[in-house]
Amino acid sequence: MALARLLLADDHEVVRQGFRALLEKAGYEIVGEAADGQEAVRLAQALHPQVAILDVRMPLLNGMEAAREIIRTAPQTRVVLLTMHIEEPYVLQALQTGISGYVLKSKSASELLQAVQEALRGGLFLSPDVSGTVVRAYLSNSEPAPDSLGSRERQVLQLVAEGKSTKEIAVLLGISVKTAESHRGHIMEKLNIHSVAGLVRYAIRRGMIEP
């Protein structure tokens, strides 16, 4: 019987090594590892893993955006998110994205294994603490806060907030400097934020980068 094929993405190598050891001991095959969200998307498209396990906080492209891209461009791959966030906006945004698992990093390793098993069955796993958040959101008829930015604009925003120059952003995203400048201008206009410091604060509030 073939082993289920998994992809691991976390920017801390020691964390990836720990998860790899756990998952391989449980009988899974790790077909690729990524240190940032862009690499995770590329590997998912190239390797076609059955499940991609993504840390939410990653450079270049955060786990939430990487999940969106993987679900859109590699629909055969299920996505499990690893996160520290239990707050309602993060959970609702992740569910709206179409993830198959939302696991709190502060909880036991057994929850990650349960999430992978459920994803392989085509189901959905939420850490028990998160389930309460979802129930409360349902009872209060909450919806994710609207986001006026498009996918590419969110990618550019994260890179700006990480301190990348317009030229560096153009190279990383494979677009022209003029296009990168245009995206940056549209972001500032849509958000009514007209300084890099303001964009950084917005990105932190949205969970795109670490404070």
Q: What is the DSSP string of 113-147?
A: HHHHHHHHTT--EE-HHHHHHHHHHHHTT--PPP-
Taking the C-alpha atoms of residue 22 and residue 110, their distance in angstroms, rounded to an integer, is: 9
Residue 12: band (very low, low, confident or very high) from pLDDT cuts 50, 70, 90: very high
Q: Please check the confidence at residue 21 and state whether its pLDDT lies above 80.
A: yes
pLDDT score for 143: 59
Taking the C-alpha atoms of residue 162 and residue 175, their distance in angstroms, rounded to an integer, is: 18
Q: Which of 12, 1, 6 is nearest to 119 (CA)?
A: 6
Question: Is position 51 within any domain?
Answer: yes
Q: Please check the confidence at residue 199 and state whether its pLDDT lies above 60.
A: yes
Residue 45 sits in which domain range? 5-139
Tens digit of pLDDT for each residue in 109-167? 899 999 999 999 999 999 988 877 776 766 666 655 567 888 899 999 999 999 999 99
**Radius of gyration in angstroms for the set of CA atoms belonging to the chain, rounded to a whole number:** 17
Q: Which of 99, 211, 210, 193 is nearest to 149 (CA)?
A: 193
Residue 105: band (very low, low, confident or very high) from pLDDT cuts 50, 70, 90: confident
Same-domain check for residues 12 and 57: yes
The answer to whether residues 118 and 125 touch, using CB atoms and an 8 Å cutoff, is yes
Same-domain check for residues 26 and 75: yes
Same-domain check for residues 129 and 26: yes
pLDDT score for 1: 58
pLDDT score for 167: 95
Question: Is position 144 within any domain?
Answer: no
pLDDT score for 88: 76
More confident residue, 86 or 49: 49
More confident residue, 20 or 141: 20
Same-domain check for residues 41 and 112: yes
Tokens of 126: 């939420």
Residue keyed to tokens 């998307």:
41
Same-domain check for residues 112 and 192: no
Residue 18: band (very low, low, confident or very high) from pLDDT cuts 50, 70, 90: very high
Residue 102: band (very low, low, confident or very high) from pLDDT cuts 50, 70, 90: very high
What's the pTM?
0.85
CATH number at residue 39: 3.40.50.2300
Q: Please check the confidence at residue 23 and state whether its pLDDT lies above 60.
A: yes
Same-domain check for residues 21 and 112: yes
